[in-house]
């Protein structure tokens, strides 16, 4: 089989790494890829937005299966276009991917189908949103409806902050059309976890739990990022009782909702959940693999990923099972200094040649420059360790981090601390 992966981050490196291990796979291509992916796959100089050219490439190369990494490609309808051209592709259609690309669409879906989530209101006029905020209690969460590179969610502590957020999103159009509508919702307290489940339209297959660290600095301080590190399993937070509630209160009603709404969802479903005192509540749906959740999840996966993706596309998830290592995995992101703000690129990376046993270094923002690998993005590398338990995996990941250097290297020192038992 020939496989094409779309995207260029650590998630895509992990996908390529795992897909390459399948005995059924003869070649892997990645568009556009990065320096780490280039060691495992043939990189193709096409962006995920160059849809027509990607279709042509898949036809010319006789690609058997395309796997979509990022949300913007799904929102732009890449799956629909591949399907129209008779090409096999993993991911939900544009209509189904609205569960991620429109927060109002997702909220209405959850409300219709009784999936627990924060109380909220949606507004298409900024004056109405402003009026609502004047009488509300705080903190309050203001969200741009559409995709905004993870920056469209503002936690407002008072009416002034909420008003400014609404103004920036709806009047100044900071995120363009993503700000045509806003969702204003109740602030939830609790701890967050990342749930992944393959969904084939009628059935789902739950992956192990994971937790991300979204803030830039230790102790969950600083700005929101794409994710500074992950670990799996998140056994301390997602206890068997909480997992049972996630099945019963989120995933079962999700599948029933698809059927009632006539929505054919096939792909990865990644709900971000807040585990509150009242149980799990959905903060958002993502219609793709998480980044850097994928790095720890696929490190723990024993089964052939190709089989799981094909079963999802063909509606056969009820007939397959996934095998997982009992080991724990920890991924520490090394970022460029200044991320998620502005940062420099092109810094040579040292220490990539001798990586210890049980460590995989997934590349994100890297590229080749002559005979060197250099930084080329905010998140640069995901140093991922697998070990018998979480404390050991954590220690191994940080020991490996010390071996890798580049100017401005920035990382959190407390990844997975919240997963350790007291
Ligand atoms: P979202 O893109 O909707 O997941 O929001 C991004 C981040 O904002 C989440 O991971 C949470 O940390 C935070 N967040 C979103 N909605 C809420 C909420 N209702 N209450 C508290 N925090 C929230
Ligand atoms: N790590 C969170 C995400 O992929 O959205």
Domains of the chain: 2-93 (3.40.50.20), 125-180 (3.30.1490.20), 191-319 (3.30.470.20), 328-419 (3.90.600.10)
Would you state the pLDDT for residue 354? Answer: 87
Distance CA 43, CA 34 (A): 8
Best mutation site among 194, 296, 412 for ligand 2, i.e. most ligand atoms within 8 A of its Cβ? Answer: 194
Instruction: Give CA–CA dist 66/212, Å, rounded.
Output: 26
Q: Which ligand is nearest to the CA of 223?
A: 1
**C-alpha–C-alpha distance, residues 198 and 189, integer Å:** 27
| Pair 16, 368: CB distance under 8 Å | no
| Angstrom distance (rounded) from CA 285 to CA 243 | 17
Evaluate whether 35 touches 366 at the Cβ level (below 8 Å): yes
Beta carbons of 269 and 204 less than 8 angstroms apart: yes
Q: How far apart are CA 187 and CA 140, in angstroms?
A: 5
pLDDT at residue 422, rounded to an integer: 61
For ligand 1, atom 14, the nearest C-alpha belongs to 283
Pick the residue whose CA is nearest to atom 8 on ligand 1: 153
Cα gap 281→273, rounded to integer Å? 5
pLDDT score of 150: 77
Rounded Cα distance, 86 and 69, in Å:
20
Closest CA to 323 of 301, 299, 305: 301
Using CA atoms, how far apart are residues 150 and 226, in angstroms rounded to an integer?
7
* Phi, psi (degrees; rounded to nearest 5) at 255: -65, -45
Neighbours of 246 (CB within 10 A): 23
First CA to last CA distance, the chain: 47
Torsion angle (degrees, nearest 10) of CA 332, 329, 222, 146: 110
Helices 293-300 & 10-20, crossing angle to 10 degrees? 20
Residues 74 and 95: their CA atoms lie apart, in Å, by: 9
CA distances from 351 to 83, 197, 366, 373, 388 (A): 42, 35, 14, 10, 25
Element housing 52 (H / E): helix 51-60
Tell me if 210 sits within 8 A of 237, measured CB to CB. no
Buried b (16+ CB within 10 A) or exposed e, 173-195: ebbeebbbbbbbbeebebebbbb
Query: According to the model, what pLDDT value does residue 385 have?
Result: 98
Q: How far apart are CA 77 and CA 54, in angstroms?
A: 13
Q: Where are the alpha helices (DSSP H) in 103-223?
A: 103-112, 126-134, 159-166
Please give the structure tokens belonging to residue 228. 């500074």
Specify the pairing of strand 279-286 against strand 366-369.
Answer: unpaired
Low-confidence ranges of the chain (pLDDT < 70): 422
Distance from the CA of 291 to the center of ligand 2, in angstroms?
5
- Report the nearest-CA residue for atom 5 of ligand 2: 290
What pTM was estimated for this model as a whole? 0.97
Query: Which residues, judged by CB distance below 6 Å to any ligand atom, belong to the binding site of ligand 2?
Result: 212, 227, 286, 290-291, 293
Residue 169 confidence (pLDDT): 95
Rounded to the nearest 10 degrees, the angle between the axes of helix 305-313 and helix 10-20 is 100
Ligand 1: which atom is nearest the Cα of residue 152? Answer: 2
Distance 226 CA to ligand 2 centre (A): 6
């Amino acid at each position: 089989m020939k496989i094409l992966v779309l995207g260029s981050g650590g998630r895509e490196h992990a996908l390529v790494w795992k897909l390459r291990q399948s005995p059924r796979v003869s070649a892997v291509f990645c568009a556009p890829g990065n320096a780490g992916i280039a060691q495992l796959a043939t990189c193709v100089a096409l962006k995920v937005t160059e849809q027509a050219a990607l279709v042509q490439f898949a036809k010319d190369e006789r690609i058997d299966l395309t796997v979509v990494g990022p949300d913007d490609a799904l929102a732009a309808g890449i799956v629909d276009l591949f399907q129209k051209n008779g090409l096999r592709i993993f991911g939900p259609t544009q209509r189904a991917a609205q569960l991620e690309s429109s927060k109002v669409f997702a909220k209405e879906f959850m409300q219709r189908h009784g999936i627990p989530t924060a109380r909220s209101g949606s507004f298409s006029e900024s004056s109405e949103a402003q009026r609502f905020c004047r009488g509300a209690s705080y903190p309050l969460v203001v969200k741009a409806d559409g995709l905004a590179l993870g920056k469209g969610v503002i936690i407002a502590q008072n009416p002034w902050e909420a008003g400014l957020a609404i103004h920036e999103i709806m009047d100044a159009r900071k995120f363009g059309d993503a700000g045509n509508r806003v969702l204003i919702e109740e602030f939830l307290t609790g701890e967050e976890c990342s749930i992944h489940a393959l969904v084939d339209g009628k059935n789902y297959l739950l992956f192990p739990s994971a937790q991300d660290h979204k803030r830039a600095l230790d102790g969950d301080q600083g700005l929101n990022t794409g994710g500074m590190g992950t670990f799996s399993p998140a056994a301390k937070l997602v206890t068997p009782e909480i997992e049972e509630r996630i099945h019963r209160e989120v995933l079962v009603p999700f599948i029933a909702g698809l059927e009632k709404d006539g929505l054919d969802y096939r792909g990865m479903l990644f709900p971000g959940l807040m585990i509150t005192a009242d149980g799990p509540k959905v903060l958002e749906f993502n219609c793709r693999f998480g980044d850097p959740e994928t790095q720890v999840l696929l490190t723990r996966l024993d089964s052939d990923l190709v089989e799981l993706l094909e079963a999802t596309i063909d509606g056969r998830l009820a007939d397959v099972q996934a095998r997982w290592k009992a080991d724990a995995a920890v991924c520490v992101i090394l970022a460029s200094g200044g991320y998620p703000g502005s940062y420099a690129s092109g810094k040579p990376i040292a220490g990539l040649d001798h990586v210890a046993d049980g460590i995989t270094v997934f590349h994100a923002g890297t590229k080749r420059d002559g005979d060197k690998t250099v930084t080329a993005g905010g998140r640069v590398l995901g140093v991922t360790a697998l070990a018998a338990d979480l404390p050991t995996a954590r220690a191994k990941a940080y020991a490996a981090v010390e071996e890798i250097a580049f100017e401005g290297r920035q990382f959190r020192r407390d990844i997975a601390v919240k997963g350790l038992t007291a």
